[in-house]
Structure 1
């Protein structure tokens, strides 16, 4: 019976997390764009991204916002990224270019490149995305900028991935969905802990008041999540999940490249605030033990009680995560949610183990 009690405890903990996530799943997005049109600086840091820039810059330039500039940062590219930037700048005065040359102190540091781009921006409100990202609509910029107020200096957006066939694509999109559900939900209950650089906005005053990225400048990644983890509060953070405000990126095509990307992301999470690490770790542990203890209980204990607990948890899980998947336009993941959850748990475990042996040192 001890096994059943322990299983029941972790099932309850897992369901509590799901109830927290329901704060986002059942939240309705605002359908209005504020009448106050803030001028915005869109900042894109690119390293060897010439083809993506050719494809995506026209979508940034077509944004239906009255006043904005685009800061293009060439982070010491070895291809023709700078030439592509210059060709666009020749035809549109809204484009400003920052050409970063590697130096010994900040070799290969995206944060150093971003710092130079932020200093170049003439507008107080900054909106960040990546060179391989495409806005979901011409109102992306306005939807994100509308969330700025006198108190709200930081806006968390959703950065999804393009839909393709295959298990890897489904897993990438599921992991992105789960991450978004967490950071939106925690922000909603007053515990903002991260954001994604594919779709993130903040006020330059917030950046300079916290000395930018200086506290983690030597860490290869984390220009988005570590910065948000350090400066976000319940009062200064807003969320934007209107479908017109989404961005979509090109997903990794190989397991190896995706694992390397996840290794970078997971390595930065170790630098989160202790309370956030406990919150995230307990969720992962409750997921892991739900599956492990649940399967064991079915065979060791009378199967009826474990099956009832499993059924309750899966009902709550499918309702909450299914609603979130629909909200974030990932409805085709819904039939596969339990299988993707289990697979992701073991993939993350393998990455945790791998990270203990070696860590990535550059963002590209």
Structure 2
């Protein structure tokens, strides 16, 4: 049992070192940039069967407080009224530009092909990406994100959260997983090792897109238009972080556990294509999380149970500090009170996702 205790302490210290590393991001000040920059921006949205969401959320994007932008919406071979809804918006607002992908074109790498057509249609040099089911948190979202572009900064990572339903345990789980992921990719970027971003709130220049030959390096992967692009293009010099409360978007979350599980299977499958350094660091973190809890429960029924509880208490204090301060940045502080339960559930869910992906491949992009 002493050997197990030693292993528990070593694994615990490895895991704890990550959380201590997250302090840099957790205690980073939120920012707000003045509106005087006014860079020319193309907002790009890829929509597949999103008629209702476009009716609800596109007006919020069109009403952004910014003097120089357009909204390029790609209808990716939808079978509902998406195209008709977009044509109504286009007729009413000259900022709206439509790219219509036909059914016979849909096999060309799916969403990446559609996005490439949208980027080629864009007239502005700064590209801001979001989804059709996303709601900007404020009318300054476009300003706050685009203000981070500078001479060397060609990629801007933003927070893409989910709409809040305090009565739903699943909603809390989805938002916790999203916050947890954001803490990691913001932290890695602050360490000079950016590895991903989310298409719900991501910006980069058209120059950067063409410098990377678009999505050519991972065109064989059906998904990953956001995180794989960032994984290949981002570095410590060209990547900026938007931590402004006004620079947040929130999406419509899944309404049942099965749909969320399938969504996460797709996301996890993309991570296998990350750079080796990122896969190693992420793998060590998740493995240390899992082994920590396994050894904790073993020691809980041994003579070393007090040591295990003391170490867990220390870990919770450090974790709680990270989650609370990070949650404050993004309006997710209600998750702080239940993070120990959500973390445990998420760890076992991730193990289930890994096993499921090992057995069969997940389905991508609608």
With the shorter chain as reference, the TM-score category is over 0.9
Of 352-361 and 247-256, more deviation after overlay is shown by 352-361
List 4+ stretches of structure 1 deviating above 6 A.
none
Contact kept? 2:72, 2:96, Cα under 8 Å: yes
Quick check: 1:344 aligned with 2:336?
no
> Which residue number corresponds to residue 72 of structure 1?
73
Structure 2 unaligned regions, length at least 5: none
TM-score (norm 1): 0.98
TM-score (norm 2): 0.97
Of 18-27 and 33-42, more deviation after overlay is shown by 33-42
Q: CA deviation at 1:104?
A: 6.0
> Which residue number corresponds to residue 198 of structure 1?
200
Cα distance in 2, alignment partners of residues 303 and 110 from structure 1: 51
Cα distance in 2, alignment partners of residues 194 and 205 from structure 1: 19
Structure 1 unaligned regions, length at least 5: none
Quick check: 1:231 aligned with 2:233?
yes
> Which residue number corresponds to residue 362 of structure 1?
364
Contact kept? 2:77, 2:106, Cα under 8 Å: no
Post-superposition Cα deviations, 1:175-213, rounded to whole Å, max 9, x if no partner, equal 000000000010011000000000000011111011111
Q: CA deviation at 1:112?
A: 0.4
CA RMSD of aligned residues (A): 1.2
Q: What SS does structure 2 have at the residue aligned with 1:141?
A: helix
Contact kept? 1:102, 1:108, Cα under 8 Å: no
Cα distance in 2, alignment partners of residues 79 and 179 from structure 1: 32
Cα distance in 1, alignment partners of residues 353 and 135 from structure 2: 29
Cα distance in 2, alignment partners of residues 362 and 319 from structure 1: 36
Of 194-203 and 166-175, more deviation after overlay is shown by 166-175
Quick check: 1:148 aligned with 2:143?
no
Superposed counterparts of 1:205-220, under 5 Å? 205-220=207-222
Contact kept? 1:71, 1:95, Cα under 8 Å: yes
Of 41-50 and 314-323, more deviation after overlay is shown by 314-323
Of 160-169 and 170-179, more deviation after overlay is shown by 160-169
Cα distance in 2, alignment partners of residues 113 and 162 from structure 1: 26
Post-superposition Cα deviations, 1:79-131, rounded to whole Å, max 9, x if no partner, equal 11001001001011111100001336835700000000000001110000000
> Which residue number corresponds to residue 118 of structure 2?
117
Contact kept? 2:73, 2:118, Cα under 8 Å: yes
Superposed counterparts of 1:167-316, under 5 Å? 167-316=169-318
Contact kept? 2:49, 2:82, Cα under 8 Å: yes
Q: CA deviation at 1:286?
A: 1.2
Q: What SS does structure 2 have at the residue aligned with 1:128?
A: strand
| Equivalent residue pairs, number | 364
Cα distance in 1, alignment partners of residues 150 and 84 from structure 2: 37
Q: What SS does structure 2 have at the residue aligned with 1:300?
A: coil
